[in-house]
Amino acid sequence: MLNSIAILGRPNVGKSSLFNKLTKSRNAIVSDFSGLTKDRNFGYASIKDHQYLVIDTGGVGSEITEFSSAITQQALIAAEDSSLILLLIDGSEELTSDDIDLYQYIRKMNKKFFVVLNKIDIKKRSNAKEDLLKFGCEDILEISAEHSRGIKELQTFISQQFLELSNAADTEDLKGTKIAVIGRPNAGKSTFINQFTKQDRLIVSDVPGTTIDSIHVPFIFNDENFIFIDTAGIRKKYKQSHAVEYFSYVRAMHAVDESDIVLMLIDASDGIVDQDLRILNLIRGYGKPVVVALNKIDELSANHLLDLKETKKFQNSALNDLILVEISALQKRGFKKLFDTLAKVNQLAKTKFSTGKLNKLLLKFTNSTNTPSISGRQIKMRYIHFGGIHPTKFIIHSNFSSKIPSNYKRYLINSFRDELKLNSVELSIIFKKGDNPFEGKKNELSSRQIKKKKRLIKHIKKSKK
């Protein structure tokens, strides 16, 4: 299921402001200066427990500048590869020929899109909405990206669009556990899938970048249905690279999003490099379980392999809680152990833990160390319960929902992971503050208490005399 959203529009209509609001970041520079955004910028928006890739693009217009044609090309590339397009129009100005041309162009793309009128907070209103209706535009949302007006309605509308797209796609989905195979170019992903499925389904070459799209390969193992999703290798500078490489990155992330479990392949002959760790961080943001396979170990001697495991990058915190399996795709070594690990981790990632078991463990962990304080008040954890999968969520009800020290959160996550054997499973702990049932209520006295209070006051007054 594709889940990317491209924001298009002419320069200075508020695309970067909307991007920042949807992604809850400040990654896009916002300024009154027209044409500031040139390259594609992207981030992730979480709407109703779903994550979407949001792409901010440069302004598309007829004004000729040094970068205008390149900016337009980058924007249209983003639109072509996205499953939903937001056409942003300045609601405080009349429609321009650039607005109309872009609207007509997107309409012909035969893709899901709708128009967003921005800057509705400005007193000066135009006839842009009425003019768009004349052009046959049906879905028009009005917002103010700068002042967050209409953003929740926009998020709800986006969620509904993807629900329709996913329902349509479900009828065509292949059945089986989906395993996304991710890694740098030439890490041996296609070779691995060909060997495992015993078919030459994918092109294999020593030239990095042979695979440029996500390819679904169904197969049966131990009478169960599985689907490998072979993805293109993610390069270091995919943001600024050629359109094909950018598409490869987007589709690889889509593959992670639709998968049940992710298999990260690392080329042992190159060792673990910074790009491997970057890819791992990208993957883990989706909350899916991740198993790491160290491929091409047949090219290393026992001493070289030992040296590799002692390097700083191998002992990086990003790899500490992940299961690592040594394989050789070319020689079919380590396949059984790898698949047993994938099956075990996938099962654990879908396990629902009982409230009783979690509360016993929470009591054990809190008794093992001093509970921190916030502003002089000690954190009191009342109870914990299971909250969902991908990532596995544990919800702790306490007297604080925020400002929990990150080191204490990490301590709890590591403790639960060790006790429940959740290596390679993404784990998240959420603190939730319980509602006070007496908050805002007055302590009303009964008629008997009122009479008693009057007698006491009368008695005190007599004693004073």
* pLDDT at 230 exceeding the cut of 50: yes
Per-residue pLDDT at 329? 86
Q: How many whole angstroms separate alpha carbon 283 and alpha carbon 252?
A: 10
Q: Report whether pLDDT(416) > 60.
A: yes
The answer to whether 392 touches 425, Cβ cutoff 8 Å, is yes
Tokens encoding 10:
């002419």
The average pLDDT across 184-201 equals 71
Q: Assess whether pLDDT exceeds 70 at residue 207.
A: no
The answer to pTM > 0.75 is: no
Q: What confidence score (pLDDT) does residue 437 get?
A: 55
Q: What pLDDT does 345 receive?
A: 94
CA 89, CA 91: separation in Å to the nearest integer?
6
Partner residues linked to 117 by β-bridges: 89, 142
Q: Tell me the CB-side half-sphere exposure of residue 117, using CA atoms within 13 A.
A: 23
Domain parsing of the chain, residue ranges: 4-170, 177-349, 351-465
428 pLDDT higher than 90: yes
Indicate whether 300 pLDDT > 60: yes
pLDDT at position 62 is 61
The confidence band for 429, taking pLDDT boundaries of 50, 70 and 90, is very high
| Residue 58 C-beta-side C-alpha neighbours within 13 Å | 21
**CATH dotted code for 351-465:** 3.30.300.20
Structure tokens at 126: 């135009």
| Residue-wise pLDDT tens digits, 14-34 | 888 898 888 887 654 444 444
CB 195 within 8 A of CB 83: no
Q: For residue 80, is pLDDT > 60?
A: yes
| Contact between residue 263 and residue 179 where contact means Cβ atoms under 8 Å apart | yes
Q: Is the dihedral of CA 89, 95, 96, 102 positive or negative?
A: positive
pLDDT score of 213 more than 70: no
Q: Please, what is the average pLDDT of the chain? A: 80
Q: Could you read off the pLDDT of 216-227 as tens digits, one per residue? A: 777 777 777 788
Q: What is the pairing mode between strands 113-118 and 140-142?
A: parallel
> Does this chain's domain 4-170 share its CATH topology with 177-349?
yes
Tens of pLDDT, residue by residue over 333-349, are 888 898 889 989 999 99
User: Among residues of the chain, what percentage have pLDDT more than 90?
Assistant: 23
Its CATH architecture, for the domain 4-170, is 3-Layer(aba) Sandwich (3.40)
d(CA 459, CA 438): 32
Confidence of residue 40 (pLDDT cuts 50, 70, 90): low
Q: Which position has the higher pLDDT, 231 or 326?
A: 326
Residue-wise pLDDT for 272-296, tens only, equals: 888 888 888 888 888 999 999 999 9
**Which numeric CATH code is attached to 177-349?**
3.40.50.300
Q: Is the pLDDT of residue 74 over 50?
A: yes
- The model's confidence at residue 363, banded by pLDDT at 50, 70 and 90, is very high
Read off the pLDDT of residues 83-123 as tens digits, 9 standing for 90 and up.
889 999 998 888 888 889 889 888 888 888 889 999 888 87
Angle, to 10 degrees, between the axis of helix 151-170 and the axis of helix 15-23? 70
pLDDT tens for residues 139-177? 889 999 888 899 999 999 988 888 766 555 543 455 778
- In terms of Cα–Cα distance, which of 55, 51, 52 is closest to 287? 51
Q: What is the mean pLDDT of residues 174-190?
A: 82
Q: Read off the pLDDT of residues 375-402 as tens digits, 9 standing for 90 and up.
A: 888 999 999 999 999 999 999 999 888 8
* pLDDT tens digits, one per residue of 348-359: 999 999 999 999
Q: Are 223 and 229 in contact (CB under 8 A)?
A: no
